[in-house]
Amino acid sequence: MIILVLTLHFGFLAYLVVGGFLAWRWPRTVWLHLAAAAWGVTVVAARLACPLTYAEHWARQRAGETGVRQGFIDRYIEGVIYPERYAVLAQALVAVLVLVSWVGLFHRLRAARPPQPRRRLRWRASR
């Protein structure tokens, strides 16, 4: 159960980072990525604990382990992928990647749309 929760958590974070680029291939998934990004911003801004973190703590206690005092990112990402002192920079880079992916998606969708024919205005001659 712990492995499942950790896999889901890591998958969510990976999708948060690259999901906008996946929407370049599958544009309808952008709504799912918008929801994931909104949740990510909310968790960081409001300093909320993710429900998957609660699920991990619960699974560890059921397995006879003590609950972990840290969240998923604090325990498995910070200090492993990047040093803890660069946490704010890492969050900013993720935000930039997400914005770049959305801007790229917007441009791809706009370029893929066929040009609309111009309508000629027909003026009626007054009688």
pLDDT tens over the chain, length 127 residues: 889 999 999 999 999 999 999 999 999 999 999 999 999 999 989 988 889 988 988 888 888 887 677 888 888 899 899 999 999 999 999 999 999 999 999 999 988 877 777 777 777 766 5
- Give residues with Cβ within 8 angstroms of 24, minimum separation 6: 101, 104, 105, 108
Q: How far is CA 38 from the centre of its chain?
A: 8
Query: What is the per-residue pLDDT for 10?
Result: 94
